Amino acid sequence: MIKIQVNGRNHELSQDLASTPLLWVLRDKLKLKGTKFGCGKGLCGACTVHFNGNPTRACQLPLSAASGGQVRTIEGLSENGDHPLQKAWIEEDVPQCGYCQPGQLMSAAALLASGAPVDDASIRAAMSGNICRCGTYGRIVRAIKRAAD
Ligand code: FES
């Protein structure tokens, strides 16, 4: 069995899933649909989760490589959708279609959790791997700054 912890809950998964990307384990096995499939190639950031606290492309992480690790998905970012970033996202009216936003939020949450100064440069660096086809970038930056205040 392959053991992982997701949002504080322990799971034991079949060895048959060893080469399955974490993204599909989360979505299909654990029914956590908030983590999105975009490109499947590690390019878009839609599948971003935290793995052992670091922002990670779930489409690029085989379950075997996640064994023994701790995963946090958008469903586990807060108890009631009240993470400062989630509140700021609403206050700044960030999403348009919304598809990329879970990944955007997880990358932003990793930046805030890192304790690094939050400024234009650090936001740009932290968010550079997350693509938004609706072009919500300006609102994302404002929401991150709002949450960091
Ligand atoms: Fe993983 Fe695009 S779906 S980076």
Q: How many A from CA of 39 to the centre of ligand 1?
A: 5
Backbone angles phi, psi at 9, to 5 degrees: -105, 140
Probe residue for ligand 1, chosen from 22, 36, 41, 61 as the CB with the greatest number of ligand atoms within 8 Å: 41
Ligand 1 pocket at CB < 6 A: 37-40, 42-47, 57, 59
Overall fold of domain 84-148: DNA polymerase; domain 1 (1.10.150)
Whether the predicted interface score ipTM is above 0.85: yes
Beta strand spans in 1-149 (E): 2-6, 9-13, 48-51, 54-57, 70-72
Give the model confidence (pLDDT) of 5-60 as tens digits.
999 999 999 999 999 999 999 999 999 999 999 999 999 999 999 999 999 999 99
Percent of the chain's residues with pLDDT above 90: 99
- DSSP-assigned beta bridge partners for residue 72: 50
Task: State which ligand 1 atom lies nearest to the alpha carbon of 23.
Answer: 1
Cα 23 to averaged position of ligand 1 atoms, centre (Å): 9
**Third-level CATH fold of 2-76:** Ubiquitin-like (UB roll) (3.10.20)
What is the 49 CA–ligand 1 centroid distance (Å)?
11
* Annotated domain spans of the chain: 2-76, 84-148
pTM for the full model?
Answer: 0.96
